[in-house]
Chain A
Amino acid sequence: GENVEQHPSTLSVQEGDSAVIKCTYSDSASNYFPWYKQELGKGPQLIIDIRSNVGEKKDQRIAVTLNKTAKHFSLHITETQPEDSAVYFCAASINTGTASKLTFGTGTRLQVTL
């Protein structure tokens, strides 16, 4: 089955700096790669996703890049703010449109300090 590794497990940045979280996946058939933000005591929220036919996607301060050959994808957050502090999970799946079984990374605890 799919295996997703995520690094780093914790990340501390100063407000205004950029944060980068990296994930690798094992199943070359995976074609959907979402990123989730989870705040304490809450469910994950989708912040951005990318499909395998795209190499990069950007949404304001958040961007995701995908390298299918190397089987890795990364989340980039620019101009970080304290409210970005949370746990971030990457995930991978084979999204057929009728079922989407996600395999999650181990999570990255991001802390943005003032």
Chain B
Amino acid sequence: GAVVSQHPSRVICKSGTSVKIECRSLDFQATTMFWYRQFPKKSLMLMATSNEGSKATYEQGVEKDKFLINHASLTLSTLTVTSAHPEDSSFYICSALATRVGELFFGEGSRLTVL
């Protein structure tokens, strides 16, 4: 099946710093990628839809200046958590839409811990 790679898988940072998470579709092109946030023992909450070559669409309540999304190519989307605070600690997961088959494939997730 299609592979989506997410990097880094784990990151620890200090409060006030910014962290970038990458999401790559390895064997298919994805014009649309999605970013989710998951709290412990909870479901996935959609944060934003990332479209190649255009601005991301954010869900209600998600600060676009806090969570910067860039989808510069058909195989790469990045999520940057700016000026991170402890409450931003979470599991961030991306998914990529394989348009040809109409299926979503998920990355392995990135666990962010802000000290």
Measured CB to CB, the residues of A under 8 A from B are 32, 34, 36, 41-46, 49, 89, 95, 97-107, 109
Which residues of B are found within 8 Å of A34, using beta-carbon distances?
103-104
Q: What separation, in Å, do the CA atoms of A107 and B99 have in the docked complex?
A: 26
Check if A42 sits within 8 Å of B43, measured CB to CB: no
Which residues of B are found within 8 Å of A45, using beta-carbon distances?
106
Q: Which applies to chain A's interface (DSSP): helix, strand, loop or mixed?
A: loop
Q: Besides A101-B46, A102-B104, 15 other CB < 8 A contacts?
A: A42-B109, A43-B93, A43-B108, A44-B44, A44-B106, A46-B1, A49-B103, A89-B43, A99-B32, A99-B97, A100-B97, A100-B102, A102-B34, A102-B46, A104-B44
Contact with A along B90-115 (1 / 0, CB 8 A): 00010101010011111111010000
Q: What separation, in Å, do the CA atoms of A1 and B104 have in the docked complex?
A: 20
Check if B106 sits within 8 Å of A36, measured CB to CB: yes
Measured CB to CB, the residues of B under 8 A from A are 1, 4, 6, 31-32, 34, 41-44, 46, 49, 93, 95, 97, 99, 102-109, 111
Q: A43-B6, A43-B93, A89-B44 are in contact. Are A98 and B99 (CB under 8 A)?
A: yes
Q: What separation, in Å, do the CA atoms of A36 and B43 have in the docked complex?
A: 11
Minimal beta-carbon separation of B54 from chain A (angstroms): 12
Minimal beta-carbon separation of A76 from chain B (angstroms): 21
Check if A32 sits within 8 Å of B102, measured CB to CB: yes
Check if B93 sits within 8 Å of A101, measured CB to CB: no
Which residues of B are found within 8 Å of A95, using beta-carbon distances?
102
Which residues of B are found within 8 Å of A36, using beta-carbon distances?
106
Q: What separation, in Å, do the CA atoms of A106 and B38 have in the docked complex?
A: 11
Minimal beta-carbon separation of B4 from chain A (angstroms): 8
What is the chain A residue whose CB lies nearest that of B93?
A43
Which residues of B are found within 8 Å of A46, using beta-carbon distances?
1, 103-106
